[in-house]
């Protein structure tokens, strides 16, 4: 049921939803395990770069590989995301499950590699060709050897995510009762993983 706001934990300058759902109790190893489950279940996320004069720019990207808290993407070197990254390496990856409302936000820095990187051959699959096309010149054919084929590696430095803890009907009831009574809906766990947490998780991967 929705919880009463306690003066000792909240005031007019505090976000009640964050205060009630923030999870500092679950062990970090379990938090990472559930984070991995969330992103692996989505497969596709929004990769947001920063474009000078425009601001954040996002596009859907399939994850080629996740290694611990870090991510690899295959991409066309001629796409504008690479010119964005040349000027600003800071990126964000966002995931959301529309069924459960679970969401993940990953902040990090990106590095790029050309098609000479051996990891491209390891990650490439025939389905990737559909996003490149065969230009018919025997070179730009969408294969792993295509000079357009490039790699984006995102090293995470901050992760936050929300994990639902009740079903759809329970969620509706929780929010409805909270709206009527003035209490605060508590529908899931909001978690933060710091750069120190991420470094420790990376060292055990």
Residues 191-205: tens digit of each pLDDT: 999 999 999 999 987
Rounded Cα–Cα distance for residues 159 and 90 (Å) = 14
The per-residue pLDDT for 179 is 45
The full set of domains in the chain, from first to last, is 27-161+194-203 (2.30.110.10)
Phi/psi at 122 (nearest 5 deg)? -70, -35
- Find the length of the chain: 205
pLDDT attached to residue 202: 94
Residue 103 near residue 162 (C-beta atoms within 8 A): yes
What is the per-residue pLDDT for 12? 47
> What's the confidence (pLDDT) of residue 54?
96
Q: What is the pLDDT of residue 175?
A: 47
Cα–Cα distances (Å) from 85 to 46, 53, 107, 158, in that order, read: 15, 14, 14, 18
Q: How far is CA 52 from the centre of its chain?
A: 22
* pLDDT of the chain, 205 residues: tens digit per residue: 445 556 555 554 566 666 777 888 999 999 999 999 999 999 899 999 999 999 999 999 999 999 999 999 999 999 999 999 999 999 999 999 988 889 999 999 999 999 999 999 999 999 999 999 999 999 999 999 999 999 999 999 999 999 986 555 545 444 444 445 555 555 678 999 999 999 999 998 7
**pLDDT tens digits for range 29-45:** 999 999 999 999 998 99
Q: Across-strand partners of 62?
A: 44
Predicted model pTM: 0.84
Contacts of 149 (CB under 8 A, 6+ apart): 74, 76, 77, 115, 120, 124, 128, 132, 142, 143
- Both tokens of 199, joined, read 């470094």
Contact indicator for 87, 52 with CB cutoff of 8 Å? yes
């Amino acid at each position: 049921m929705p919880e009463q706001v306690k003066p000792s934990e909240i005031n007019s300058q505090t976000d009640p939803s964050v205060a009630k759902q923030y999870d500092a109790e679950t062990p970090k190893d379990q938090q990472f395990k559930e984070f991995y489950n969330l992103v692996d279940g989505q497969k596709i996320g929004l990769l947001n770069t920063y474009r000078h004069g425009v601001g954040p720019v996002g596009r859907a990207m399939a994850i080629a590989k996740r290694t611990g808290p870090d991510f690899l993407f295959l991409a066309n070197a001629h796409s504008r995301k690479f010119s964005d990254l040349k000027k600003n390496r800071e990126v964000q990856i966002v995931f959301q499950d529309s069924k459960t409302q679970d969401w993940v936000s990953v902040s990090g820095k990106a590095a790029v590699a050309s098609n000479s990187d051996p990891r491209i051959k390891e990650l490439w699959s025939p389905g990737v060709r559909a996003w490149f096309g065969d230009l018919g010149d025997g070179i730009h054919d969408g294969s792993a050897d295509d000079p357009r084929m490039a790699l984006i590696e995102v090293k995470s430095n901050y992760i936050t995510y929300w994990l639902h803890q009740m079903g759809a009907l329970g969620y509706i009831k929780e929010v409805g009762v909270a709206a009527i009574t003035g209490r605060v809906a508590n529908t899931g766990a909001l978690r933060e993983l710091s750069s120190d947490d991420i470094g420790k998780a990376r060292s055990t991967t």
